[in-house]
Structure 1
Amino acid sequence: MTKSLSKYSQQQTQVQSEKIYDTQCPFCSMQCQMQLIEQTIDTNKQYTARGIDHVTTKGRLCLKGMNAHQHVFHSERLTHPLLKRNGTFVRVSWEEALQYIGEQVTSIQHQRGHHALGVYGSASLTNEEAYLLGKFARVALKTKHIDYNGRYCMSAAATAATQTFGMDRGFTNTLSEIPHTRVMILAGTNIAECQPTMMPYFKEAKENGAFIIVIDPRQTLTAQMADLHLQVKPGTDAMLTNGILKIIIEEQLTNDSFIERRVSGFEAVKHYVTSLDLKEISKKTGVPIEQIRKTAIKFAKEETGMIFTARGVEQQTDGVATVKNLLNILISVGKVGKYGCGYAAITGQGNGQGAREHGQKADQLPGYRSIENEADRSFIANVWNIKKEELPRKGVSAYEMIKKIDKQDITGMLIFCSNPVVSSPNANFVKNALKKLKLFVVVDLFVSETAKLADVILPASSFLEDEGTMTNVEGRVTLRGAAKPCPEEVRHDWQIICDIAAVLGKSQFFSYQSAEDIFNELRRASQGGTADYFGITYERLRQGDGILWPCPKPGHSGTERLFETEFAHPDKKAKMFVIPNEPIVQKEQPTEQYPLFLTTGRVMSHYLTGVQTRKSPALLARHVESFMEIHPKTADKYKIEDRVLVKIESKRGSIIVRSVLSEAMRPDTVFVPMHWSGMQNVNHLVAADLDPLSKMPSFKVCAVRIKPILDNHVNELS
């Protein structure tokens, strides 16, 4: 017994080596700085993650960050190229995979033209890779068809901020100002589960006496923190904000001097909202007049205030309009461009901000330049050493590319680190459309639901291996190190892009030796643009806590607060817009056949479509399957007990999930998270209606019906 214990103790202390990898969490937009500690005990490797002190994240890590490394070492990780032969993936060399891609691309271009090819990017890519992918599409493929999964995430907020302020940087100020802000409106954002390491900023604000207002159909963990929760009826957010604005104006709580000096469009907005009936707004939104009034007066009267938005209000057919109306509120009381005041779009994906700044969007060039602007086209053509006339014009949004694939206008597609088979609305249609492609190439860490349909799968590098810059939720550019080498035959995304360009005869445009080489070209491409990174260098990033853009020249300290003296429109003013109570694109409403609203969202332990987080045993164990949150009264009406299987149907399809009774829900609404695939993919139910301005799908509002089923009927019904 004593000998056994002694041997055990000796084994536990026999650490043969220790390595420390400095990196950043790959998941949400907080981009928490972290170290992964690798200890070798005998022949076994053990890993522990710990947060690093940083100006943004203060050494914090959430559940996902602490376990992010687990998917990197998973046995199903892709480590070599795969080529589909006779319906089965077989291992091939890089040379064979690249040759196949080159031949197929050339064939499609010859038969159907350059625009028969499409590229689908990701907001999980580094800035360097996002930039390079945009260049690859337009220079190597010469196609106008490129967009990315951020279209489903940040496009509504980005469009609204650009139209209102003249530019979009997510945060107009910094996280550090939140604790000193007196009143905050959190509209459709569940920070507690989606960005947990941001929550201490709000808790500190509450300790300092801040008043927090949450707008959400669910009583989320974030709403539980609030002083006032407006439990709005799904799809009526724009109408609710009109009610708030009406009270601010009619109670003469506007900042008239600010409006006169720095705002255009106010009179038209005033004329419209004062004509509205507040009782009707209250009835249609489900929010009592006294709560609307309290929100308006509290936000207007406090000295400082901020408004935060996320997918809850943005993923709708009037998402842009709703955000613009929230910005109408902000501007009307002059709470922008000064300490403790501003707007914050809570970016979802890790590089959701940077990925949309440098050329992945259908209508954009690096530096947030417009692909339709002649001066912008000339500038980028000069950086890329091509003729301006060779640059394609703007393409279409992510979902619209899928529709072009269905019509076979696009017959070849390259997808980088994204899973549209699960993440897109009307998911059955998307899957069937992708099956029609003549060439389908997917670059990823795992064989995702989308990758299963591919002709070629190429293995991508993970966050531990891939050096590059990321731009966090507040617009702070940071450098993610990569001390760990790639396993086996894995290559970096930027190397894969360069390799494909080479087999297409375009290597002279893609002759980079490192991520830093790409970043230095990105700096030049962004110079003078809205998102100006020119003054940022790897050397500067290695020495500090990151730099907030715009940073127009070397030595510039970055820009912590935007719009202190002027906005980014040519007249230097912010614009207010009349927002109709009813959206231009009508939202699906409950009917006798489909009597309930469905809304979607996230849970803390998973990320996006779950491809990475389900490879983490520690995260998977917390949420093995999807579920439907439902109010007990509604459950009783439909004879649904707690923790039973339920079939949910819309006009587009059906799914099977487990019920969770919760008084946090509105009785007319059910909630299902977005992280699961197959018969639990909630996007089988979601309509493909798009916001006319941002082309954001309406994930948050659709009509469904529900019924309990027996476990042994699952296969039959699915």
Structure 2
Amino acid sequence: METAVKTVMETQCPFCSVQCKMTVTETEEQGHTTYHVAPKQNAASEGRLCIKGMNAYQHALTGERITEPLMKKNGEFVPVSWEEAYKQIAERFTALQHQFNRDTIGVYGGGSLTNETSYTLGKFARVALQTKYIDYNGRFCMSAAAAAGNQAFGIDRGLTNPLSEVRESDCLILAGTNIAECQPTLMPYFRDAKENGAFIIVIDPRSTATAEMADMHLKVKPGTDAALANGLLKVIIDNGYIDKVFLAARTTGFEEVKAHIDSCKIEEIAALTGVPQEDIERAGRKFGQAASGMILTARGVEQQTDGSLAVRNFINLLLATGKIGKRGSGYGAVTGQANGQGGREHGQKADQLPGYRSIENEEHRAYIAKIWGVDAESLPGKGVSAYEMMEKVHAQEIRGLFLMGSNPIVSNPNANFVEEGLRKLDFLVVADMLFSETAQLADVILPTAAYLENTGTLTNLEGRVLLREAARPAPGLAKQDWEILSDIAASLGKAAHFSYTDAEGIFEELRLASKGGIADYYGITYDRLRKEEGVYWPCPSPEHPGEARLFEASFPRPDGRAAMVPVPNEFPKEQAGGDYPLYLTTGRVLGHYLTGVQTHQSPTLEAQQFESFVEIHPKTARRLKIKDDSLVKVRSRRGEVVVRSKLTASIREDTIFMPMHWDGIQNVNKLTSEALDPACKMPGFKVCAAMVTPLSAQY
């Protein structure tokens, strides 16, 4: 029988921050619908797709989608009309705000939402609900790097130079980033750089596929990345590899940094970090002597209670050697989520207004209030970070919660505490396309469109704004995110402020709201994005090409200079020892994404890795009487989980590793600490004290 092509869908991957483009072709053959996925040429991934992208259609087209509004009645979810759902939400939110105060309602977003949805969600919280409590799960992704970039450079953008310049760099440091599994379509950049003569250094407690590609692997003790950066900096300063002209003309604070480094002893740093002194010295020399260099960090460095300072110290390395603002040289925070970059630029964060404006700056408030047609005095002030919102939920300061595109029961640290708090809520609304663990606790579930059905822009890890257009209608009664927010706003009496008819209209308002801000999108339009396949921000005018490489002439700080600061050699706040002798660190595996809500709906990806595990060094396992591939109990001071052991010499003997993609009895975040970075409120996911015991007493 002849195969009939039903639909050809042009789209881009919904998962990581590379945002690879693809074509999904739906065909009918002998009564069976099949799908064929092909990569599509684009500037970031250059026409590559990883296994997640190849199978992303499965959760959207064949997964257990929510296709109609659901309301919990007598403990069971039953279908209701949109009108009934909106009426219930408006009545319950309004009643709670009258009984307590406006801030008793919280709004919690996600890093995979489009720029248009992120913008509308921030406006919804501050105009429709007038609550100060809004934050999003991207707080757990990029906040440490964002804080460091803003403090050091005056701007926070993923990469300060294009991905294409990776190939031109002479020395690359990849700190706490496992690109081979988290952003695999980028690996050819690094392989090509190596073929071109680049020296690659990977900093990671584990020997990952990324580390295996490198020339040097510094197997750092979890939580000591800032100290290791001090060791590299000491080698560079002591050997005279600094760029004196650049330091004098373009930076401040170097003398204070040098005084601190002079007081450090390399042998003490080696002992603290667990990295041999000779390796620190060799890596420092290689980076210091290189004509150009880039440093990329990710969650391994950033998800720590001193993560923002650790990133500042890696930035110190770039500034000390003048490796910034020129070809093949720069800093990059490798964004985890699809729109982790854009999601924090336009209003989802507790302290931000669109365009990366500050909610505490009166001029910024006045500007945005004018765009929104409200009085500046009516805009609420600064709220709190994502985990701190969960603390307020637990304390019942927040009694109603609107959740969109996130799964905090699995993604937050100290997950038992978070679940306990969410169960206390008087009213929980979840807008999602799939039944997450958090959605199961909801009073109302609102069905949203998936990536194939949703038009909007996303900003990739380079700061390149991309347009993803809807390729098919949403199933059943599911609606666009912005449409749901606008409808609820109307039911709250704020229809005049949310009279949108499509995503492009929201983007036009976002352009104006971001104009003149740090994240200036004013010069970007849908027409440009269709023609140019993406535009870098900042882009202040329609004639501007977009700024691909930042800081060529100056830094966007009041004095035009980058700021260096001394960073202490600190131990992790939670030390291994006694009953909890091991350091637990967390991360990702190739086949899954975040809390797994989407990827566990993919039979292909689920078959790749259907259960969680804990990596243990064979010597450690022998001491603990743990066999390979056996069930073990992993405990911390906050909880316990049961997973399967995986013995590997690729990890440090004092460290164990668990992925983050499973819920329930396998949820690693039942173990992780609630301690936060004081500067950016990033939880310390990457370091907590733990113990492992066999589930069975027999060895």
TM-score (norm 1): 0.96
Aligned to 1:328: 316
Residue equivalent to 1:685: 671
d(CA) in 2 for partners of 1:96, 1:140: 19
Q: Per-residue CA shift, 1:565-624, capped at 9, x if unaligned?
A: 0001110000001111126xx521111211111100000000000000000000000000
Equivalent residue, structure 1, for 2:200: 212
Map 1:86-235; keep pairs closer than 5 Å: 86-235=74-223
Measure the CA separation in 2 of the matches of 1:507 and 1:35.
37
Distance 1:165 1:701 in 2: 28
The residue type equivalent to 1:689 in the other structure is A
CA distance in 2, matches of 1:493, 1:527: 24
State whether residues 121 and 415 of structure 1, in contact with CA within 8 Å, keep that contact through their aligned partners in structure 2.
yes
Shift of 1:163: 0.3
1:16 touches 1:42 (CA, 8 Å); kept in 2?
Answer: no
Return the alpha-carbon distance in structure 2 between the equivalents of residues 545 and 193 of structure 1.
Answer: 26
Q: CA deviation at 1:45?
A: 1.4
In the alignment, structure 1 residue 442 sits paired with structure 2 residue 430: yes
Name the structure 1 match of 2:692: 706
Asked if the contact 1:378–1:388 (Cα under 8 Å) also holds between the matched residues in 2, the reply is yes
Structure 1 residue ranges without an equivalent (≥5): 1-10, 713-718
* 2:263 alignment partner, SS class: coil
Provide, for residues 34-77 of structure 1, a one-character-per-residue CA deviation record: whole Å limited to 9, x for no partner.
Answer: 11111122432111111111111111000000000000123521
Which residue, 550, 561, 585 being the options, matches 1:573? 561
* Match in the other structure for 2:510: 522
Q: TM-score, normalised by structure 2?
A: 0.99
SS in 1 for 2:675: coil
Out of 2, 8, 19, the position equivalent to 2:7 is 19
For 1:665, the equivalent position in structure 2 comes to 651
Other-structure match for 1:715: none
Question: How do residues 477-516 of structure 1 correspond to structure 2 at under 5 angstroms?
Answer: 477-516=465-504
Distance 2:4 2:558 in 1: 63
**1:674-705: CA deviation from partner (whole Å, max 9, x where unpaired):** 00000000000011000000100000001111
SS across alignment from 1:621: helix
Equivalences for residues 374-523 of structure 1 within 5 A:
374-523=362-511
Kindly indicate whether residue 682 of structure 2 is the aligned counterpart of residue 696 of structure 1: yes
How many angstroms apart in 2 are the aligned matches of 1:267 and 1:544? 44
Q: In structure 2, how many angstroms separate the alpha carbons of the residues matched to 1:186 and 1:639?
A: 35
Q: CA deviation at 1:325?
A: 0.3
| 291-300 or 602-611, which deviates more | 291-300
Q: 1:75 to 1:66 in 2, by over 3 A?
A: closer
Q: Residue 508 of structure 1: CA displacement? A: 0.3
CA offsets 1:259-310 (integer angstroms, 9 cap, x no match): 0000001111100111011111111111111111111111111111000000
Matched, 1:642 2:635: no
Letter in 1 for 2:592: H
* Aligned amino acid, residue 189 of structure 2: Y
**Partner of residue 244, structure 1:** 232
1:563 to 551, 561, 572: 551
State how far apart, in whole Å, the 2-side matches of 1:646 and 1:75 are: 31
Aligned twin of 1:3 = none
Deviations 1:408-437 (A, max 9, x none): 111110010100000000000000001111
Counterpart among 610, 615, 621 of residue 607 in structure 2: 621
| 1:6 aligned partner | none
Q: What residue number does 2:598 align with?
A: 612
Which of 344, 351, 367 lines up with 2:332 in the alignment? 344
Kept in 2: contact 1:691–1:697 (CA 8 A): yes
How far does residue 711 in structure 1 lie from its aligned partner after superposition? 11
SS at match of 2:98: helix
SS in 2 for 1:635: helix
Per the TM alignment, residue 209 of structure 1 is displaced from its structure 2 partner at its CA by 0.8
8 A contact 1:645–1:711 mirrored in 2: no
CA distance in 2 between partners of 1:312 and 1:587 (Å)? 16
Contact kept, 8 Å, 2:5 with 2:25, in 1: the verdict is: no
In 2: Cα distance, 1:707 partner to 1:169 partner: 43
Deviation at 1:445, TM superposition (A): 1.2
Q: What is the SS of the residue equivalent to 1:80?
A: coil
State the distance in 2 between where 1:466 and 1:42 align. Answer: 30
CA shift for structure 1 position 253: 1.1
Map 1:245-324; keep pairs closer than 5 Å: 245-324=233-312
Alpha-carbon distance in 2 for matches of 1:429, 1:688: 9
CA distance in 1, matches of 2:290, 2:214: 17
- Alignment partner of 2:202: what SS? strand
Question: Matched residues in 1 for 2:219 and 2:307: separation?
Answer: 18
Residue 70 of structure 2 is matched in structure 1 by: 82
CA distance, structure 2, for counterparts of residue 249 and residue 670 of structure 1:
34
CA–CA separation in structure 2 for the residues paired with 1:575 and 1:295: 24
Query: 2-side partners of 1:439 and 1:18: how far apart?
Result: 42
Aligned to 2:532: 544
Q: Which residue of 35, 54, 59 corresponds with 1:47? A: 35
SS of the equivalent of 1:694 reads: coil
Which secondary structure does the structure 1 equivalent of 2:282 belong to? helix
Distance 2:647 2:414 in 1: 27
- Which residue identity lines up with residue 228 of structure 1 in the other structure? M
What is the match of residue 603 of structure 1?
589
For the residues of structure 1 that align with 2:88 and 2:121, how far apart are their CA atoms? Answer: 20
Question: How far apart are residue 17 of structure 1 and its match?
Answer: 3.1
Check conservation: 2:105, 2:399, Cα contact below 8 A: yes
3-state SS of the aligned residue for 2:680? coil
Measured against aligned partners, the alpha-carbon deviations of 1:175-199 in whole angstroms (never above 9, x if no partner) come to 0000111100000000000000011
Runs of 4+ in 1 over 6 A off after TM superposition: none
CA offsets 1:9-43 (integer angstroms, 9 cap, x no match): xx2xx123332111000000000011111112243
- 8 A contact 1:627–1:657 mirrored in 2: yes
Q: Letter of the aligned partner of 2:311 in structure 1?
A: V
SS at match of 2:477: coil
1:499 aligned partner, one-letter code: D
Give 1:249 shift: 1.0
Q: Which shows bigger deviation, 478-487 or 602-611?
A: 478-487
Contact 2:63/2:602, CA 8 A, preserved across alignment: no
Superposed CA offset, 1:637-696 (max 9, x none): 111111110110111110011111111010110100000000000000011000000100
1:460-491 Cα distance to aligned partner (Å, 9 max, x none): 10000000000001000010011201111000
